[in-house]
A and B are shown apart, each in its own frame.
Chain A
Amino acid sequence: MGSVPGVRLLVGKVGLDGHDRGAKIIARALRDAGFEVVYTGLHQTPEMVVATALQEDVDGIGLSILSGAHLTLFSKILKLLKEKGSDDIVVFGGGIIPDEDTPKLLEAGVRCIFTPGTTTQQVIDWVRRNVVPRRR
């Protein structure tokens, strides 16, 4: 598997939700696919995620949310990125997200929602196509 030059990703767990099985699997699969990956660890606030994303200078943020608070948390992160003038960072996510909420999230600016059953290869392929190094 060739390396993906320069694309840096943040995989994040936001809110109080401690289900990190999916986040860790995705983080590791993306790393194995050649991306540079930072995993935030658990219990991050939207502010903490955005601060880490800027500090680590990432090109994409993948969020895993299984608590049902996805509408609140994704919106907040997108809003904070916009305020920091960094809304060119690609935000995507997955978790337990009812189908009917996906259009709302996409409309808010989330670029892709992966539903349960997605293979790690599908996530990798999507990231390769959609996340490019930002102009720095």
Chain B
Amino acid sequence: MSGQDGKTAVQAGARRAWDETALKKALAQKPDRPASFTTVSDFPIGRLYTAEDLDGWNASDRLGLPGEPPFTRGVHPTMYRGRLWTMRQFAGFGSAEDTNQRFRYLLEHGQTGLSVAFDLPTLMGRDSDDALAEGEVGREGVAIDTLADMEILFRGIPLAEVSTSMTINAPAAILLAMYLAVAEKQGVPFDVLEGTIQNDILKEYIAQKEWIYPPGPSMRLITDMIVFCTGKVPKWNTISISGYHIREAGSTAVQELAFTLADGLAYVQAGVDRGLSVDAFAPRLSFFFNAHIDLFEEIAKLRAARRMWCRFLRERFAAKNPRSWTLRTHVQTAGCSLTAQQPINNVVRVTIQALAAALGGTQSLHTNSLDETLALPSEDSVRIALRTQQIIAEESGVANTVDPLGGSYFVESLTDRMEEAALEYIRKIEAMGGMVSAIERGFPQREIAEAAYRYQRQLDSGEKTLVGVNKHTEGSGPPPPLLRIDHEVERAQLDRLRRVRRERDQGRHARSLAALETAARSDENVVPHVFEAVRAYASVQEISDALKNVFGTYREGAVTL
């Protein structure tokens, strides 16, 4: 028996003795509360974790050191002692002018990166004057139809000095091209631009449902963007592989972990299949996870994600560059966990979730605003959300040391078990032929709908608690003042769109769209053609339609249940 094994055996003996004496006596006097000791995702949690739960666990294999494989403890050696996470509040509403003003407000209040929320018509590749856009223009984000809007959105903001995240998927190539065109007008070379474009179409089919084209052509478009950016915009994060929306759609934490990594594997495979070296583009893939209310489950999820990604990239794709192995992530607190009842309580929920993100080692963070279940956040509520991050970062002390929970029996055990459960899902998806075919079979969609329904039933029965909703419901207080979007926005946006259509160089516009369609029909990379169309002031919908002519559209039909 080695010294280590001897120690474990002694501990195991002590644990059995404790079970038989102290615990037995305590339970006889006071049994457990009649609660289900599970995470919010229904993952079972034990009474006590000891060294026995980490039997056979090897710290150098499972943990490593910060900034070293498998990155369980974080992607940088110094983590928040070197630099705090980026505080990046997602913002966008109304017109480009309104959002430009909000961006400047946030930069003045100490925010360090921009994050653009687009309105639904833009997200769906439609112009503000499309029939389906009625009532939606500028409502959930900023309305962008043409380069003219994008020029206003970033007016007075030097693109060489900010990093910008754009939450856009199906029309990602168009919005990235618009950003590049603004940079060109500001005289900023593409190779200094820093930012992220979400560009994660697989999670759209799985969860968020903002698609345009079918999965096959969508994957080609994304690969075209990876190739383009790898050559021309090398500091740009080309995909933000997103679990956030999967979780918001009602998945469990394990499903979020598994489906997100499986999406990531599909993108890496697509790049490799296109003939790129994995190390040429993998360092520019970033992630976006949810931070839900179950503190330890979220921390374990982020730690497991880093370890799993490192192993996949090293072992499966033989990546050599350590940057390819690192899972860098943005985190946003869980919108779906917030309540319309007693909305001030949401500040507390967001604090716990933001703490999970920090303890889980995130690179950037958005904290939700207390009024988000009621409307778009007001300026005051956005400031409270930002202050929440600042208090965690600069007062609470959690940023003083790297991975404060590393080595915790509970956290390490939970990290391992979530990894195992996620790997089981990934094996199932691979047995179906990978994520694209799993999506075509509706597998992740069904698993998520099932989990969402189960959670709703647990709330309805009181098995799970939501304070202010199914327990402690008395006393709600006055509703907070809400941000209202003026109908004027829609009218002004339509005026600007009409003016751009009238005044642009019609010949250049028509030629650019024809060239784009031709490129889409061939194997040629479409991104340079999208860029030219954008510079010719073609609109989001005109460009999307040109691609639709070639790629077709994706539809979800009526279902009799």
Q: Which residues of A contact B (CB under 8 A)?
A: 15-21, 24-25, 27-29, 31, 36-43, 45, 52, 67-69, 71-73, 96, 98-99, 115-117, 119-121
Contacts and interface: CB of A to CB of B under 8 A. Distances in A.
B375 A98 contact: yes
A4 to B, nearest CB: 14
Contacts of B148: none
B457 A120 contact: yes
B140 interface: yes
B140 A120 contact: no
A98 to B, nearest CB: 6
Contacts of A37: 560-561
A16 B120 contact: yes
Nearest to B248: A21
Nearest to A20: B209
Contact of A31 (B136, B140, B561): B561
A42 B339 CA distance: 25
A21 to B, nearest CB: 5
A52 B453 CA distance: 25
Nearest to B459: A119
B449 A24 contact: yes
B326 to A, nearest CB: 31
Contacts of B134: 69, 72
A69 B558 contact: no
6 contacts: A38-B561, A39-B560, A41-B556, A69-B134, A98-B374, A120-B460
Chain A to chain B: the 9 pairs with minimum beta-carbon distance, closest first? A72-B135, A18-B209, A69-B135, A16-B120, A41-B556, A68-B139, A117-B469, A116-B340, A31-B561
Given A15-B132, A25-B250, A41-B556, 19 more contacts: A15-B135, A15-B136, A16-B123, A16-B136, A21-B250, A21-B336, A21-B452, A25-B452, A36-B560, A39-B558, A41-B558, A42-B556, A43-B556, A67-B140, A96-B374, A98-B375, A115-B340, A116-B339, A121-B460
A117 B341 contact: yes
A70 B447 CA distance: 29
Nearest to B482: A98
B448 to A, nearest CB: 8
Contacts, number: 113
A73 B482 CA distance: 21
Nearest to B209: A18
B373 interface: yes
Interface residues of B, number: 49
Contact of B210 (A18, A72, A120): A18
Nearest to A47: B131
B126 A16 contact: yes
A72 B121 CA distance: 15
A37 B469 CA distance: 27
A24 B556 CA distance: 13
B209 A42 contact: yes
Interface in B120-150: 120-121, 123-124, 126, 131-136, 139-140
Nearest to B456: A25
Given A67-B120, A98-B482, A28 B559 contact: no
A67 B559 contact: no
Contacts of A68: 135-136, 139-140, 375-376, 485
A67 B560 contact: no
Contacts of A41: 555-559
B132 A45 contact: yes
B560 A38 contact: yes
Contacts of A69: 134-136, 139
Interface in B464-496: 466, 468-470, 479, 482, 485
B132 A40 contact: no
A111 B453 CA distance: 25
A67 B135 CA distance: 9
A27 B124 CA distance: 25
A106 B12 CA distance: 65
Contacts of B126: 16
B86 interface: no
Contact of A15 (B120, B248, B452): B120
A57 to B, nearest CB: 13
A41 B449 CA distance: 14
Contacts of A18: 204, 208-210
Most-contacted residue by chain A among B135, B139, B204, B485 (CB, 10 A): B135
Contacts of B482: 98
B423 interface: no
A99 B481 CA distance: 12
A113 B485 CA distance: 21
